Amino acid sequence: MIILGIESSCDETAAAIVKDGREVLANVVSSQIKIHEQYGGVVPEIAAREHLNSVNIVIKEAYKQASIIPDKIDAFASTAGPGLTGCLLVGLNAAKALSVVYSKPYIGVNHLSAHVCANFLNSDLTPPFVCLLVSGGHTQVIYVKDYDNQEILASTIDDAVGEVYDKVARLCSIPYPGGVLLDKKAHEGNFRAFNFPEAKVKKDEFSFSGLKTAVLREVKKFEKDNIPKADIAASFQHRIVDTLIKKTKKLSLELNCKTIVLSGGVAANSELRKRLLELQKEGFKTYAPELKYCTDNAAMVASCAYFNPIKTENSMLLEVFSRD
């Protein structure tokens, strides 16, 4: 089954063509980073307009990359939510229009489930496994019992990990997109320079607002031009990654599930990937998507349409939703 997927939930307009949920035939992403850079973050109205400008271009490019004609597509899929409403509408309406024109089904997809499915792309992973999903809007440990059967084991009670990365980057005057640049900066610093606290929370919770405040308190002790950015970045990154890995490992062991996978934009983080790999020495099997499938993309949408679509009687009546 060949599915064309469209992603437009936030600041990337993407189209991809994937066979049987795993084999990527085309993957096209148009990032809006350059446009939102000047505002220091994503402006929803501008993002939606940019999706409109780009959506047909990325779809055409996907056909070209896959050397395929639209008639050969078996279904058209898009992210239905969660995300920015105006942005989601662009992808959803494009996919529905294509499904009408070519008389093929439309499939709606949940953005978080799609991030999980990024691990199936060009890989042999099969459930059950435990997935640490870390993105700009979410932080969850999910028990994926089967392709369409998942249970949330833990989630954040305040900020998402990506959100904290972006906020701490801003505190340190590291420009947008903060997460990836802070990750780079951390390599130049000493992770023992600052001893940032770990939140005391319940087994099924994460909390990062205290860590954010602790960073702010340290930053305020320095003149703007003298902030020890690299040491703060390294110490912050060490604390947050350690917290994520420890909890994911503990929850996996409790379930006697020894396969752990990463997903979401923060799964591109170098320290998180390194610590995940180290778990192999303790007998865990580990997976992480290729970097291009960690941040928002449409290949994961097409994979999710195959493995874990939103179940509904008439998908053409499916509407976008902003929150999960």
- The residue among 21 and 265 lying less far from ligand KG4, judged by its C-beta, is 265
User: Least distance to ligand KG4 from the beta carbon of 294, Å?
Assistant: 7
**Which of Zn ion, ligand KG4, none has residue 178 at its interface (CB below 5 to 8 Å by kind)?**
ligand KG4
Q: Which of residues 120-179 bind ligand KG4 (CB under 6 A)?
A: 135-137, 162, 165-166, 177-179
Selected binder of ligand KG4 within 25, 268, 300, 318 (CB under 6 A): 268
DSSP 133: E
| Shortest CB 141 distance to Zn ion, Å | 17
- The least distance separating ligand KG4 from the CB of residue 264, rounded to whole angstroms, comes to 5
Can you tell me the distance from the alpha carbon of 63 to that of 60, in angstroms, rounded to the nearest whole number? 5
CA distance 54 to 23: 24
Whole-angstrom Cα Rg for the chain: 20
Between residues 141 and 171, which has the closer beta carbon with respect to Zn ion?
141
Residues numbered 277 to 296 that lie near Zn ion (CB under 5 A) are 296
Considering only residues 171 through 230, tell me which ones interact with ligand KG4, judged by CB under 6 A: 177-180, 183
By a kind-dependent CB cut-off of 5 to 8 A, residue 252 interacts, out of ligand KG4, Zn ion, none, with: none
Please tell me whether residue 97 adopts helix, strand or coil conformation.
helix
> Whole-number minimum distance, CB 118 to Zn ion, in Å?
9
CB of 225 to ligand KG4, least distance (A): 24
Q: Which is nearer to ligand KG4, 87 or 98 (CB)?
A: 87
Q: Could you tell me the two tokens for 317?
A: 């009546």
**Angle of CA points 26, 30, 35, to nearest 5°:** 175
Query: Of 164, 170, 121, 120, which is closest to residue 139 (Cα–Cα)?
Result: 164
302 binds, among Zn ion, ligand KG4, none (CB under 5 to 8 A by kind): none
Q: Which does 166 bind (CB under 5 to 8 A by kind): ligand KG4, Zn ion, none?
A: ligand KG4
Q: Is 226 exposed, middle or buried (0-12, 13-18, 19+ CB in 10 A)?
A: exposed
Q: What are the DSSP calls for 228-260, one per residue?
A: -HHHHHHHHHHHHHHHHHHHHHHHHHHTT--EE
Q: What is the DSSP letter of 106?
A: E
CA distance 274 to 269: 9
Distance between first and last Cα of the chain: 28
Tell me the site size for ligand KG4, rule CB under 6 A. 19
Are 151 and 145 within 8 A, CB to CB?
A: yes
| Closer of 231 and 296 to Zn ion (Cβ) | 296
135 belongs to the binding site for Zn ion (CB under 5 A): yes
Look at the alpha carbons of 296, 8, 139, 187 in this order and tell me if their dihedral is positive or negative: positive
- The identity of residue 296, as a single letter, is D
CA–CA gap between residue 242 and residue 45 (Å, rounded): 37
Q: Answer yes or no whether residue 269 interacts with ligand KG4 by CB under 6 A.
A: yes
Shortest Cβ 268–Zn ion spacing (Å):
11
Residues that bind ligand KG4 (CB under 6 A): 10, 135-137, 162, 165-166, 177-180, 183, 264-266, 268-269, 295-296
What is the binding site for Zn ion (CB under 5 A)? 135, 296
